[in-house]
Amino acid sequence: MTVRIQAAERGCAVTIDFHFNGNCPDAKGGEVWYKPVDAKSKALGQAIVHTFSSLGLPFHGSEPLKEAVLGNRASFIRHYRSPAILIEPLFVTNPGANQAGWIHEKANVQAFAQKLAEALEAATTDENSLIGLSIGHIYKPSNPDDTGVNCIRGDTEADHARAVAESCGKHSDRRARHCPATAAE
């Protein structure tokens, strides 16, 4: 069962898919993908872009908010029934202080998760809204060993996605739930 089906069956008001970028050691910056033609997804994406900025994380390219249209790597989120975004806040292949070095600081993970939880809660309609937290790359039946890109510090993209998602769930006053699959199936 895909995370899209799980999110729908569980009644998620919104779903966030956690990822991190990987490329050459000097690549940097974050980006947010939102479900096409969905004003709530776009508004949530903009709030997350603001979160990146407020934490001093640079943007990847000139436009950090991107529509997940057919043909791009985040296009699977367009199949969610509810608003959905995919975040890639930084490059774990860049050892820099505002990239892989940044995400290895527990205080940064906590601050990031707190701001994400606030943005997710603001995107829901009431205190009983269910928020789907999907940890990218892991739990995929099609490739159970997929952990995403290797981090320059020896761990993986999935390790960081899990840490941020779990912390986000702890910071949320809403009924945040981890979806036990990735949307990229």
User: What is the DSSP code string of 45-74?
Assistant: HHHHHHHHHHTTPPBSSS--EEE--TTSTT
Winning range, highest mean pLDDT, from 71-80, 125-134, 147-156: 147-156
User: What is the DSSP code string of 20-50?
Assistant: -B--STT---BEEEE-TT-HHHHHHHHHHHH
Confidence of residue 138 (pLDDT cuts 50, 70, 90): confident
Instruction: Supply the pLDDT for residue 1.
Output: 52
**Domains of the chain: residue spans and CATH:** 3-179 (3.40.630.40)
Q: Measuring CA to CA, which residue among 29, 124, 48, 60 is closest to residue 86?
A: 48
- Is the pLDDT score of 35 beyond 80? yes
79-93 average pLDDT score:
94
- Is the pLDDT score of 67 beyond 50? yes
Instruction: Supply the pLDDT for residue 102.
Output: 96
Contact yes or no for 12/128 (Cβ under 8 A): no
Contacts of 106 (CB under 8 A, 6+ apart): none
**Bigger pLDDT: 125 or 107?**
107
Count Cβ atoms within 10 A of the Cβ of residue 112 and give its class: 0-12 exposed, 13-18 middle, 19 or more buried.
Answer: buried
Q: At what angle do helices 106-122 and 157-171 cross, to 10 degrees?
A: 60
Instruction: Supply the pLDDT for residue 143.
Output: 81
